[in-house]
Amino acid sequence: MSQITPQRPSGSTHGGCLTSPDANPTLAVPMASIRDVVEALSRRTGVDAVVVVGRDGLPIDSRAANGVDTENVAALLPSVIKQMAQLGEAGGRGEFGTAVLEFQSGLAVASVLTADALLVVLVQPSTNVGGLLFDLRRHRSAIAGLL
């Protein structure tokens, strides 16, 4: 995901694009968007779906394969996150960040991006999610900044 981390070299932003700092602007370079992040995550090996969800259960952006119903996943995610947060409080673990949930047909990686946005990545059962977890932890604030 490091290639999708928003980077702001010197220059000014205009309309979501970066322009040259000199008086004669050159070709504008588009900044990364949440759609770019969703697309990059969905291209990872073993990923069936990536859904960014508002706390209201409405999808902000998604990409899915293998017949995943992203709207239903989005609608359910806020209540799952709420329950995980309560589990963390009851167990003295502090604020909820990320969970890996194992199911018969794969894993769900659920994560809080901001107070108003959540993320779930559905992966196939044999997928190694170590790199995904590392990237989510490392780039969480950059991803959140795109929302």
Domain limits, the chain: 32-144
Q: Classify 32-144 by CATH class.
A: alpha beta
- What are 30's strand-pairing partners? 17
CB atoms inside a 10 Å sphere around CB 35: 14
Residue 6 has pLDDT above 80, yes or no: no
Pick the residue with more confidence: 23 or 140? 140
Residues 137 and 133: their CA atoms lie apart, in Å, by: 6
Global pTM reads 0.78
Residue 114 has pLDDT above 90, yes or no: yes
When pLDDT is averaged across residues 6-11 and rounded to a whole number, the result is 38
- What ranges make up the beta strands (E) of 2-145? 12-14, 17-19, 29-30, 47-54, 59-64, 98-103, 106-112, 117-123
The model's pLDDT over 122-134, given as tens digits with 9 standing for 90+, comes to 999 999 999 999 9
pLDDT band at 7 (very low <50, low <70, confident <90, very high): very low
- What are 79's strand-pairing partners? none
